[in-house]
Amino acid sequence: MHWIIDTDAGVDDAIAIAMPFVPDWPDHRILAITTVTGNVHVSKVNINVGAVLDVLKVDVPIHAGCDRPMIESHIHAEEFHGADGLGDAGLAKTERRPEQEHAALAIVRLARAHEGDLGLIALGPLTNIALACNLDPDLPECLARLVVMGCAWQARGNQTPAAEFNIAADPESARVVFDRFSNVVVLPWEVSLDQMMPFETFERICAGTSARAVFFAGMTRVVHVWKARFGFTGVPLPDPLAMAVALDERIIARELRARVRVDIGASIGRALSSLDYRHPRPNARVVVAVHADAAWRMIERAWTL
Ligand code: BDR
Ligand code: CA
Protein backbone atom coordinates (compact mmCIF):
# COMPACT_ATOMS: atom_id res chain seq x y z
CA MET A 1 0.00 0.00 0.00
CA HIS A 2 1.21 3.51 -0.85
CA TRP A 3 0.58 6.41 1.49
CA ILE A 4 0.63 10.17 1.77
CA ILE A 5 0.97 11.70 5.23
CA ASP A 6 -0.74 15.09 5.53
CA THR A 7 0.53 16.87 8.63
CA ASP A 8 0.75 20.09 10.65
CA ALA A 9 3.80 18.81 12.57
CA GLY A 10 3.61 19.29 15.65
CA VAL A 11 5.30 17.05 18.26
CA ASP A 12 2.83 14.16 18.08
CA ASP A 13 2.79 14.41 14.27
CA ALA A 14 6.57 14.11 14.30
CA ILE A 15 6.34 11.00 16.47
CA ALA A 16 3.80 9.53 14.04
CA ILE A 17 5.85 10.31 10.92
CA ALA A 18 8.66 8.00 12.10
CA MET A 19 6.42 5.00 12.63
CA PRO A 20 6.33 3.66 9.05
CA PHE A 21 10.12 3.99 8.74
CA VAL A 22 11.08 0.70 10.35
CA PRO A 23 11.80 -2.56 8.53
CA ASP A 24 8.56 -4.07 9.90
CA TRP A 25 6.34 -2.57 7.22
CA PRO A 26 7.72 -3.61 3.81
CA ASP A 27 4.21 -3.42 2.34
CA HIS A 28 3.73 0.26 3.28
CA ARG A 29 5.51 2.92 1.28
CA ILE A 30 5.29 6.66 2.02
CA LEU A 31 5.23 8.49 -1.32
CA ALA A 32 4.97 12.06 -0.04
CA ILE A 33 4.41 14.20 3.00
CA THR A 34 2.06 17.13 2.52
CA THR A 35 1.99 19.99 4.97
CA VAL A 36 -0.69 22.33 6.22
CA THR A 37 -1.07 25.21 8.66
CA GLY A 38 -2.35 23.93 11.97
CA ASN A 39 -0.34 23.50 15.14
CA VAL A 40 2.02 26.10 13.62
CA HIS A 41 2.20 27.95 10.32
CA VAL A 42 2.91 25.77 7.28
CA SER A 43 6.34 27.39 6.76
CA LYS A 44 7.36 25.97 10.15
CA VAL A 45 5.68 22.64 9.43
CA ASN A 46 7.83 22.25 6.29
CA ILE A 47 10.97 22.70 8.38
CA ASN A 48 9.77 20.33 11.07
CA VAL A 49 8.99 17.59 8.58
CA GLY A 50 12.41 18.10 6.99
CA ALA A 51 14.09 17.85 10.39
CA VAL A 52 12.26 14.61 11.16
CA LEU A 53 13.19 13.12 7.76
CA ASP A 54 16.81 14.13 8.45
CA VAL A 55 16.95 12.21 11.70
CA LEU A 56 15.17 9.24 10.09
CA LYS A 57 17.65 9.40 7.17
CA VAL A 58 14.95 8.90 4.54
CA ASP A 59 14.13 10.74 1.35
CA VAL A 60 10.48 11.56 0.89
CA PRO A 61 9.24 14.59 -1.05
CA ILE A 62 7.62 17.33 1.01
CA HIS A 63 4.78 19.28 -0.63
CA ALA A 64 3.83 22.51 1.07
CA GLY A 65 0.10 23.03 1.33
CA CYS A 66 -2.44 25.55 2.48
CA ASP A 67 -1.18 28.35 4.68
CA ARG A 68 -4.60 29.11 6.13
CA PRO A 69 -8.01 27.53 6.69
CA MET A 70 -10.69 27.88 4.00
CA ILE A 71 -12.61 30.69 5.65
CA GLU A 72 -11.61 31.75 9.13
CA SER A 73 -8.27 32.92 10.41
CA HIS A 74 -5.93 30.26 11.66
CA ILE A 75 -5.64 29.08 15.24
CA HIS A 76 -2.36 27.58 16.36
CA ALA A 77 -1.34 25.27 19.21
CA GLU A 78 2.05 26.75 20.01
CA GLU A 79 1.43 26.57 23.74
CA PHE A 80 1.46 22.77 23.37
CA HIS A 81 4.00 22.20 20.62
CA GLY A 82 6.33 25.17 21.18
CA ALA A 83 6.70 28.29 19.04
CA ASP A 84 8.61 26.25 16.44
CA GLY A 85 6.18 23.32 16.65
CA LEU A 86 8.89 20.89 17.73
CA GLY A 87 9.09 21.71 21.41
CA ASP A 88 11.50 24.67 21.08
CA ALA A 89 14.42 22.31 21.59
CA GLY A 90 16.56 23.66 18.74
CA LEU A 91 15.60 20.74 16.48
CA ALA A 92 13.64 22.70 13.86
CA LYS A 93 16.32 23.05 11.21
CA THR A 94 16.97 21.34 7.90
CA GLU A 95 18.45 21.91 4.46
CA ARG A 96 15.48 20.22 2.81
CA ARG A 97 13.09 22.35 0.81
CA PRO A 98 9.54 21.54 -0.32
CA GLU A 99 8.80 20.59 -3.92
CA GLN A 100 7.32 23.16 -6.29
CA GLU A 101 4.02 21.31 -6.58
CA HIS A 102 1.32 22.30 -4.08
CA ALA A 103 0.18 19.67 -1.59
CA ALA A 104 -3.37 19.49 -2.96
CA LEU A 105 -2.10 18.98 -6.50
CA ALA A 106 0.31 16.28 -5.32
CA ILE A 107 -2.55 14.48 -3.56
CA VAL A 108 -4.66 14.56 -6.73
CA ARG A 109 -1.77 13.45 -8.96
CA LEU A 110 -0.68 10.58 -6.71
CA ALA A 111 -4.27 9.43 -6.15
CA ARG A 112 -4.73 9.15 -9.92
CA ALA A 113 -1.34 7.49 -10.46
CA HIS A 114 -1.97 4.90 -7.71
CA GLU A 115 -5.71 4.61 -8.02
CA GLY A 116 -7.09 2.08 -5.55
CA ASP A 117 -3.71 1.61 -3.87
CA LEU A 118 -3.12 4.94 -2.15
CA GLY A 119 -4.01 5.78 1.40
CA LEU A 120 -3.99 9.22 2.94
CA ILE A 121 -3.29 9.74 6.64
CA ALA A 122 -4.51 13.13 7.81
CA LEU A 123 -2.84 14.32 11.01
CA GLY A 124 -3.81 17.99 10.81
CA PRO A 125 -6.65 20.28 9.70
CA LEU A 126 -8.32 18.94 6.56
CA THR A 127 -7.70 22.02 4.37
CA ASN A 128 -5.47 20.36 1.74
CA ILE A 129 -7.79 17.39 1.44
CA ALA A 130 -10.91 19.53 1.01
CA LEU A 131 -9.10 21.53 -1.65
CA ALA A 132 -7.99 18.33 -3.38
CA CYS A 133 -11.62 17.11 -3.33
CA ASN A 134 -12.68 20.26 -5.11
CA LEU A 135 -9.85 20.00 -7.65
CA ASP A 136 -10.77 16.40 -8.40
CA PRO A 137 -14.29 15.38 -7.37
CA ASP A 138 -13.36 11.72 -7.99
CA LEU A 139 -10.68 11.81 -5.31
CA PRO A 140 -12.76 9.89 -2.72
CA GLU A 141 -13.20 7.02 -5.20
CA CYS A 142 -9.52 7.04 -6.23
CA LEU A 143 -8.20 6.77 -2.69
CA ALA A 144 -8.15 3.33 -1.14
CA ARG A 145 -8.21 4.69 2.40
CA LEU A 146 -8.51 7.91 4.34
CA VAL A 147 -7.45 7.79 7.98
CA VAL A 148 -8.19 10.96 9.93
CA MET A 149 -6.94 11.96 13.35
CA GLY A 150 -9.73 14.26 14.33
CA CYS A 151 -13.16 14.64 15.91
CA ALA A 152 -14.35 14.34 19.48
CA TRP A 153 -16.68 11.35 19.43
CA GLN A 154 -18.01 12.11 22.92
CA ALA A 155 -17.84 15.88 22.37
CA ARG A 156 -14.99 16.12 24.90
CA GLY A 157 -13.21 18.76 22.86
CA ASN A 158 -9.66 20.01 23.32
CA GLN A 159 -10.07 23.26 21.37
CA THR A 160 -13.59 24.19 22.46
CA PRO A 161 -15.69 22.28 24.98
CA ALA A 162 -17.24 20.41 22.05
CA ALA A 163 -14.64 20.44 19.29
CA GLU A 164 -11.31 18.79 18.63
CA PHE A 165 -8.39 20.89 17.34
CA ASN A 166 -7.98 19.51 13.79
CA ILE A 167 -11.68 20.01 13.11
CA ALA A 168 -11.90 23.35 14.94
CA ALA A 169 -8.89 24.70 13.04
CA ASP A 170 -10.83 24.45 9.76
CA PRO A 171 -14.42 23.28 10.24
CA GLU A 172 -15.49 24.10 6.67
CA SER A 173 -12.82 21.84 5.20
CA ALA A 174 -13.71 19.08 7.65
CA ARG A 175 -17.35 19.43 6.59
CA VAL A 176 -16.38 19.03 2.93
CA VAL A 177 -14.23 15.97 3.58
CA PHE A 178 -16.79 14.11 5.72
CA ASP A 179 -19.58 14.97 3.28
CA ARG A 180 -17.62 13.64 0.27
CA PHE A 181 -15.90 10.52 1.60
CA SER A 182 -17.92 7.41 2.31
CA ASN A 183 -15.51 5.36 4.44
CA VAL A 184 -13.23 7.47 6.61
CA VAL A 185 -11.36 5.76 9.43
CA VAL A 186 -11.44 8.21 12.34
CA LEU A 187 -9.22 8.24 15.40
CA PRO A 188 -10.89 10.75 17.72
CA TRP A 189 -9.19 12.80 20.42
CA GLU A 190 -10.77 11.03 23.40
CA VAL A 191 -9.06 7.73 22.56
CA SER A 192 -5.71 9.38 23.19
CA LEU A 193 -7.01 10.71 26.51
CA ASP A 194 -8.46 7.40 27.62
CA GLN A 195 -5.41 5.46 26.50
CA MET A 196 -2.27 7.49 27.22
CA MET A 197 1.25 6.19 26.78
CA PRO A 198 2.52 5.23 30.27
CA PHE A 199 5.25 7.55 31.55
CA GLU A 200 7.43 4.49 32.09
CA THR A 201 7.40 3.69 28.35
CA PHE A 202 7.88 7.35 27.49
CA GLU A 203 10.91 7.71 29.80
CA ARG A 204 12.42 4.53 28.43
CA ILE A 205 12.31 5.93 24.87
CA CYS A 206 13.78 9.23 26.08
CA ALA A 207 16.65 7.35 27.74
CA GLY A 208 17.68 5.79 24.41
CA THR A 209 21.04 6.76 22.93
CA SER A 210 20.32 6.52 19.16
CA ALA A 211 20.00 9.73 17.14
CA ARG A 212 16.27 9.06 16.86
CA ALA A 213 15.88 8.64 20.63
CA VAL A 214 17.86 11.81 21.38
CA PHE A 215 15.62 13.73 18.96
CA PHE A 216 12.53 12.21 20.58
CA ALA A 217 13.70 13.22 24.06
CA GLY A 218 14.38 16.78 22.90
CA MET A 219 11.07 17.48 21.21
CA THR A 220 8.99 15.81 23.93
CA ARG A 221 10.31 17.91 26.79
CA VAL A 222 6.98 19.76 26.40
CA VAL A 223 5.30 16.65 27.81
CA HIS A 224 6.37 17.78 31.30
CA VAL A 225 4.52 21.07 30.70
CA TRP A 226 1.41 19.14 29.63
CA LYS A 227 1.66 16.98 32.75
CA ALA A 228 1.96 19.97 35.08
CA ARG A 229 -0.80 21.91 33.35
CA PHE A 230 -3.39 19.21 32.82
CA GLY A 231 -2.40 16.59 35.39
CA PHE A 232 -2.13 13.95 32.66
CA THR A 233 -1.41 10.49 33.98
CA GLY A 234 0.43 9.53 30.80
CA VAL A 235 1.22 11.00 27.37
CA PRO A 236 -1.71 11.61 24.99
CA LEU A 237 -0.55 10.69 21.47
CA PRO A 238 -3.44 11.15 19.02
CA ASP A 239 -1.47 11.28 15.75
CA PRO A 240 0.68 8.23 16.56
CA LEU A 241 -2.46 6.24 17.41
CA ALA A 242 -3.95 7.22 14.04
CA MET A 243 -0.73 6.14 12.35
CA ALA A 244 -0.79 2.83 14.21
CA VAL A 245 -4.32 2.22 12.93
CA ALA A 246 -3.24 3.06 9.37
CA LEU A 247 -0.28 0.69 9.51
CA ASP A 248 -2.09 -2.20 11.13
CA GLU A 249 -5.85 -2.31 11.65
CA ARG A 250 -5.43 -5.12 14.19
CA ILE A 251 -4.66 -2.23 16.58
CA ILE A 252 -8.38 -1.41 16.59
CA ALA A 253 -10.07 -2.86 19.68
CA ARG A 254 -13.51 -1.30 19.13
CA GLU A 255 -15.07 0.76 16.37
CA LEU A 256 -18.49 2.24 15.65
CA ARG A 257 -20.02 2.98 12.29
CA ALA A 258 -21.63 6.37 11.98
CA ARG A 259 -22.37 9.25 9.67
CA VAL A 260 -20.02 12.03 10.78
CA ARG A 261 -21.08 15.58 10.03
CA VAL A 262 -19.25 18.70 11.12
CA ASP A 263 -21.16 21.71 12.47
CA ILE A 264 -20.10 24.87 10.64
CA GLY A 265 -22.49 27.13 12.53
CA ALA A 266 -21.34 30.06 14.58
CA SER A 267 -22.53 29.03 18.02
CA ILE A 268 -21.14 26.80 20.78
CA GLY A 269 -21.49 23.73 18.57
CA ARG A 270 -19.15 25.10 15.89
CA ALA A 271 -16.77 22.35 14.72
CA LEU A 272 -18.60 19.72 16.74
CA SER A 273 -18.35 16.37 14.98
CA SER A 274 -21.82 14.90 15.19
CA LEU A 275 -22.02 11.11 14.95
CA ASP A 276 -25.28 9.67 13.69
CA TYR A 277 -25.24 5.95 14.50
CA ARG A 278 -28.67 5.36 13.00
CA HIS A 279 -27.97 6.93 9.61
CA PRO A 280 -28.62 4.57 6.67
CA ARG A 281 -25.41 5.69 4.94
CA PRO A 282 -22.56 5.75 7.47
CA ASN A 283 -19.42 7.47 6.18
CA ALA A 284 -16.98 6.57 8.92
CA ARG A 285 -15.55 3.86 11.10
CA VAL A 286 -14.91 5.63 14.37
CA VAL A 287 -12.23 3.92 16.43
CA VAL A 288 -13.16 4.20 20.10
CA ALA A 289 -10.59 1.87 21.66
CA VAL A 290 -7.23 0.49 20.58
CA HIS A 291 -4.85 -2.24 21.68
CA ALA A 292 -2.59 0.40 23.15
CA ASP A 293 0.34 -1.81 24.15
CA ALA A 294 0.88 -2.76 20.52
CA ALA A 295 0.80 0.92 19.54
CA TRP A 296 3.36 1.81 22.21
CA ARG A 297 5.61 -0.96 20.91
CA MET A 298 5.36 0.48 17.38
CA ILE A 299 6.32 3.94 18.63
CA GLU A 300 9.17 2.72 20.81
CA ARG A 301 10.62 0.66 17.98
CA ALA A 302 10.45 3.58 15.53
CA TRP A 303 12.19 5.99 17.91
CA THR A 304 14.90 3.77 19.36
CA LEU A 305 16.28 2.23 16.14
C1 BDR B 1 -4.62 17.05 17.18
O2 BDR B 1 -4.34 18.43 17.37
C3 BDR B 1 -2.97 18.67 17.22
O4 BDR B 1 -2.50 19.57 18.18
C5 BDR B 1 -2.29 17.34 17.32
O6 BDR B 1 -1.13 17.33 16.51
C7 BDR B 1 -3.32 16.36 16.82
O8 BDR B 1 -3.25 16.20 15.42
C9 BDR B 1 -5.27 16.53 18.45
O10 BDR B 1 -6.47 17.18 18.69
CA1 CA C 1 -1.39 17.00 14.14
Please work out whether the CB of residue 84 comes within 6 Å of at least one atom of ligand 1: no
Q: What is the mean pLDDT of residues 211-215?
A: 98
Q: CA dist 63 to 5, 7, 102, Å?
A: 10, 10, 6
Q: What is the mean pLDDT of residues 246-268?
A: 97
Summarised one tens digit per residue, pLDDT across range 111-120 is 999 999 999 9
pLDDT band at residue 257 under the 50/70/90 scheme: very high
Please work out whether the CB of residue 164 comes within 6 Å of at least one atom of ligand 1: yes
Compute the distance between CA of residue 263 and CA of residue 209 in angstroms, rounded to an integer: 46
Please work out whether the CB of residue 13 comes within 6 Å of at least one atom of ligand 1: yes
> In order of start, what are the domains of the chain with their CATH numbers?
2-303 (3.90.245.10)
DSSP per residue, the chain: -EEEEEE---HHHHHHHHTT-STT-TT-EEEEEEE-SSSS-HHHHHHHHHHHHHHHT----EEE--SS-SSSPP---HHHH-TTSSTTSS----S----SS-HHHHHHHHHHHTTTSEEEEE-S-SHHHHHHHHH-TTHHHH-SEEEEE---TTS--SSSSS--HHHHT-HHHHHHHHHH-S-EEEE-HHHHHHSPBPHHHHHHHHT--SHHHHHHHHHTTHHHHHHHHH--SSB--HHHHHHHHHH-GGGEEEEEEEEEEE--SSSTTTT-EEEETT-SS--EEEEEEE-HHHHHHHHHHHHH-
* Residue 270 clears pLDDT 90, i.e. is over it: yes
Q: What is the mean pLDDT of residues 256-268?
A: 97
Please work out whether the CB of residue 190 comes within 6 Å of at least one atom of ligand 1: no
141 Cα–ligand 2 center, Å:
25
Q: What is the mean pLDDT of residues 13-35?
A: 96
* Residue 4 clears pLDDT 90, i.e. is over it: yes
Summarised one tens digit per residue, pLDDT across range 50-106 is 999 999 999 999 999 999 999 999 999 998 999 999 999 999 999 999 999 999 999
Taking the CB of residue 8, how many other CB atoms lie within 10 A of it? Answer: 32
Is residue 296 within 8 Å of 266, Cβ to Cβ? Answer: no
Summarised one tens digit per residue, pLDDT across range 172-187 is 999 999 999 999 999 9
- pLDDT number for residue 214: 98
8 Cα–ligand 1 center, Å:
8
Closest ligand 1 atom to Cα of 150: 10
**Quick one: which of 160, 171, 158 has its CA closest to 239?**
158
* Residue 246 clears pLDDT 90, i.e. is over it: yes
- pLDDT number for residue 79: 87
Sign of CA dihedral 285, 290, 294, 298: positive
Q: What is the mean pLDDT of residues 239-262?
A: 98
Q: Letter for the amino acid at 68?
A: R
Taking the CB of residue 145, how many other CB atoms lie within 10 A of it? Answer: 17
pLDDT band at residue 291 under the 50/70/90 scheme: very high
Q: What is the mean pLDDT of residues 205-220?
A: 98
